[in-house]
Structure 1
């Protein structure tokens, strides 16, 4: 929900006009309570009035650009739409441009990358589903991009287009940005971005607890030098749909979970079928084929590993699984 605050009756007319084009908006007279509520909800905040009033109003609530909601200021005449706070990550620049287009006003965007026609790395990373490991390096990389107009990028993900100013390199040691699914590549000061390209196939014995599932997955990732931030989805067999431990583990790892049918699983060839699994549910394996099905890959990255009551396998997609996993 967007909060639209006005100071005068003239501002109220403009606020009500803006509310008509918003999906969900609250039009309120300016008050400290309204500002506090907007920040508490992390809702976009639009001020109709003087820039100075808006600055003083939000100052006590500002934390950092990763947590602050976007704040946009519009003069009462509707001539200028200013992106004030959280222009990139919060979407303030985009909101200002959208509102300016609606009002036929002039958008005012002052972030360095935008005024120089360069990409905002944080916005681009989010749009690609990339997970940032070191935010301090994001600030450093953005400053270098503005100064030098180019950055060297080492990426292990083929299906990922780089924006203007990011140039590929074959050597991680020379890169200022690392895009991978493995931890620790390249220089320590490089910006590290993890791509959502890994699918985790999981088989469990009846009644296995979530804690054991999580421990098994974390152990396998650690033993095979994989980063859990690159995990995009968990997958298992149709017969495991009633296992609470799987759902709880997926929720704890912040992953969607998908279950594949018998027909889907048997369509995937496996190198080492399990006689026990065939006898139990009529398919040659669970973890490996489910990982392959969820990733769209042809080859398994980590063959099945048994950890107590849990079997884990990992497959790697050639491109981020963001779009595909979103619907699971």
Structure 2
């Protein structure tokens, strides 16, 4: 996670700087970034660019600093408070979706502190669907439905669950497998018809080809049309994939920035080795050295082809779904 830390006393500064180093050593991108700012100004800047804010100091300072910037539980970053003595670690915002609870536990382990977790599902040992979804890399597409699911579980009621993919391990207590039509939680690429909590994997690879100089707007137009026809949300896209001849194509680079996904490129030899039944094009083969770019690129890392090549005005789009490796183990 990209984390920013702030402190307000000499003792707090020392802990914040050491904690930033420790977290970075454990795979996070963490830094002490106060830069002489007041807490409110620092929080405003950190909210716009980081996944987590860590206040080393009083909880009241943190609450007042972040209050003007709160938007929604699905978008707000994780916020943690660590007392300057390093005794307690308190997640105060985005405990599940933002990962604050898990981060608090991690920090507590690293510094020998006590994590103070207050979310009802954690306190009562009840399955937290939003926390499990984040750990599995799933998107919660309608987070307003989280409360109703958690309330049913906290009340001892069962929740119907449907997944379009297998999930390893034993189903958590309180969930029961049901059909897609009689469900409270749906894990699928497609929006459920009923008023259910919708979990969606961010695992759709877009294979794309285009004429040189094609603007990003033209690429986006066809992509949006294909996604709409397939009933797949744009946020499910995890990468744009193409041949390495297009790695510097301005339109593709701009589109990846708009979608906030990587541009993955493959050589003609790599694409030619992708197994499958693809839509051949003698013209494409003459130009690139391989009979199909978009379908092969979409499947270059394996998975399942969701949509074969669609072509318009020199732009080609294909969709593939990555292999998912889901487990119930992460809910513990």
Shorter-chain TM-score bucket reads 0.7 to 0.9
What is the RMSD of the two structures over their aligned residues, measured on CA atoms? 3.2
**2:267 paired residue number:** 261
What is the aligned length? 308
Indicate yes or no: 2:317 matched with 1:312. Answer: yes
Contact 2:307–2:319 (CA under 8 A) maintained in structure 1: yes
Unmatched tracts of structure 1, length 5 or more = 7-11, 322-328
Indicate yes or no: 2:226 matched with 1:220. Answer: yes
Indicate yes or no: 2:19 matched with 1:16. Answer: no
**1:207 paired residue number:** 213
Indicate yes or no: 2:70 matched with 1:67. Answer: no
Q: Give 1:239 deviation, angstroms.
A: 1.8
Q: Give 1:86 deviation, angstroms.
A: 3.5
Kindly report which structure 2 residues correspond to 1:257-296, keeping only aligned pairs within 5 A, or say none: 257-268=263-274, 269-294=276-301, 296=302
Change in 2 beyond 3 A, CA 1:168/1:234? farther
**2:7 paired residue number:** 4
The one-character-per-residue Cα deviations of 1:34-59 (angstroms, maximum 9, x if unpaired) are 2442343136243535x566656665
Contact 2:282–2:291 (CA under 8 A) maintained in structure 1: yes
Give the whole-Å Cα distance in 2 for the aligned partners of 1:144 and 1:16: 44
Kindly report which structure 2 residues correspond to 1:1-328, keeping only aligned pairs within 5 A, or say none: 1-6=4-9, 12-13=10-11, 16-23=14-21, 24-25=31-32, 33-42=38-47, 44-49=53-58, 62-65=70-73, 66-67=75-76, 69-72=78-81, 74=83, 79-101=87-109, 104-148=112-156, 150-158=158-166, 164-165=172-173, 167=175, 169-183=177-191, 185-187=192-194, 189-268=195-274, 269-294=276-301, 296-297=302-303, 299-319=304-324
Change in 2 beyond 3 A, CA 1:251/1:52? closer
SS of residue paired to 2:8: strand
Give the whole-Å Cα distance in 1 for the aligned partners of 2:295 and 2:313: 17
Q: Give 1:79 deviation, angstroms.
A: 4.6
Q: Give 1:192 deviation, angstroms.
A: 0.9
With 60-69 and 266-275 compared, the bigger mean Cα shift is at 60-69
The one-character-per-residue Cα deviations of 1:72-119 (angstroms, maximum 9, x if unpaired) are 253x76554443344334444344434544554433221111111234
